[in-house]
Structure 1
Amino acid sequence: MQMRPAELAAIRDGEVDLAFRRWEQPRLRVGTRMRTAVGLLEVTSVDRVAVSSLSAADARRAGAASLTALRQGLDRVHPERPVYRIGLRYAGADPRQALRESVPEAAELDAISAWLDRLDRASPAGPWTRATLLLIDELPATRAPDLARRMGRDTPAFKQNVRKLKERGLTESLDIGYRLSARGAAVLDHEGHRRPGPGRPEPEPGTPLPHLGAAATRALTARGAVSLERVAELSEAEVKEMHGVGPYALRHLRAAMDAAGLTFRDEAERARPERAITAGVVADDLPA
């Protein structure tokens, strides 16, 4: 069940708890938990409904602008199929996040290596696990089609393989491409693989960008804003003008900057005179 980043964020924040889809038959079951970019979503209900029975409250709970907009959206694709109302709730962080950050002990590293060996033996295309991990380590934040081409694989097959590695916490998906997790790096080091050394460019210092979507990430990266500190060198207007940076990306960018104690350049400039005046008043009030 595909959902836009803004929909996922609204469910996580408790603003949306319904979705509507046209399906030939139900594709989800009550109790199913789906891994998404914002964490786990749980299906709380799946009911077939008539379009004529939908209400304005349904539209609000689904995040639609109006009941008319909800109905028009459902009629846009496969209008001959029945409509299902899916109840959804945020069920917490993705457990793979903690797994990615954990460095296994030697016995667990041996077990992971044995699992990778089994994947290699079962692959009709030959061994691929270590080559994929090493390639992601060498080329983080690189488009999947470009990585697949380097591996001599088609993109869907390459992505399927990476998902297997991600399930074990060895890789992490980015808005563009992937990166090796601390757990994945520990596996390669444990096995003695040669990883990129001093010739590899140093990672950009600063606070990483949050998940904003591929289009917004590309736009910021193209301007050199590859960290929140670099974003803070831009004005809000400059960021808004970038193609691909919409309300969702801007909202999450601002939230991440607030958490890091950063602001856009124009906001910082407006705040300086106020701080100077306040400092002057305090100084004047001090006894000689």
Structure 2
Amino acid sequence: MLIRRSVLDAIVAGTVTQAFRRWSRARVRPGTMLRTAVGLVEVLAVDVVDEAQLTPEDAHRAGYASLERLREENARRDGTLFRVVLRPGGDDPRVALRSAADLSAEDRAAIDARLARMDRGRPWTAEVLALVAAHPGVRAPDLAARLGRETAPFKRDVRRLKELGLTESLPVGYRLSPRGRAYLHVRRAAEPMDVGPPDDLRGRRG
């Protein structure tokens, strides 16, 4: 459920308490916590409504200047009209997690385990972390192309890393979070290095 930034700010301020959407079926349910640019937004209720019964107060509580404006916007879409009652849900825990860069051995092991599960079907986490680290602020389609991948599944994978607090979105592209940079540093430090044979042995044949 996408919500405009101006409406999100009004939800936090308490001046907007509901939204109206036309859907073929309800896409959220009571108790859903929406992760947004201003933190969590909680869904309190989802009900089918009759557009003819809407009032100017309904429009105002949804962030519209008038009932006519609300009706105009919803007339552009097909489906059943739903009222979604909303309230601020507090800070997004991923924000604090992204800043938690002091990794303990237990933290590292937990991240290792989560990434290993993600890699079961096809290993991808290491290359995506390294790519985002090397190219912050680069468009997702360009990053995906570097790996020979389609954009949509690549973006889904980056979001999975974001759930672990390892990446964060920029206005364009992504970057590693402080936690992600710390994890990649300790991971690389733990990787064995192929230093080759000593200089005096190079070129010798056994």
Scaled to the shorter chain, the TM-score interval is: 0.7 to 0.9
Residue equivalent to 1:24: 24
Residue equivalent to 1:67: 67
1:39 maps to 2:39: yes
Corresponding residue to 2:164 among 158, 161, 168 = 168
Cα distance in 1 for residues equivalent to 2:113 and 2:32: 30
Unaligned runs of 5+ in 2: 191-206
Residue equivalent to 2:6: 6
Of the two structures, which has the highest relative contact order with CA contacts closer than 8 Å and spacing of 6 or more?
2
Q: Specify the SS of the correspondent of 1:42.
A: strand
- How far residue 50 of structure 1 moved from its aligned partner, in angstroms, is 0.5
Cα distance in 2 for residues equivalent to 1:193 and 1:181: 18
Q: Specify the SS of the correspondent of 1:179.
A: strand
1:108 maps to 2:107: yes
Cα distance in 2 for residues equivalent to 1:136 and 1:193: 18
Q: Specify the SS of the correspondent of 1:35.
A: strand
Aligned pair count? 189
Unaligned runs of 5+ in 1: 195-288
**Matches for 1:1-288 after TM superposition, within 5 Å:** 1-78=1-78, 81-103=79-101, 104-123=103-122, 127-192=123-188
Q: Mean Cα displacement is larger for which, 5-14 or 152-161?
A: 5-14
2:108 maps to amino acid: L
TM-score scaled by structure 2? 0.87
- How far residue 110 of structure 1 moved from its aligned partner, in angstroms, is 2.2
Residues 100, 181 of structure 1: 8 Å contact kept = yes
Cα distance in 2 for residues equivalent to 1:146 and 1:14: 39
- How far residue 193 of structure 1 moved from its aligned partner, in angstroms, is 5.9
Q: Specify the SS of the correspondent of 2:90.
A: coil
Give the fraction of aligned pairs with identical amino acids, expressed as a percent: 50
Residues 113, 187 of structure 1: 8 Å contact kept = no
Q: Moved runs in structure 1, 4+ residues, more than 6 A?
A: none
Cα distance in 1 for residues equivalent to 2:31 and 2:64: 24
Q: Could you list the per-position Cα deviations for residues 211-234 of structure 1 after superposition, in whole angstroms to 9, with x for gaps in the alignment?
A: xxxxxxxxxxxxxxxxxxxxxxxx
Q: Specify the SS of the correspondent of 1:122.
A: coil
Residue equivalent to 1:250: none
1:93 maps to amino acid: D
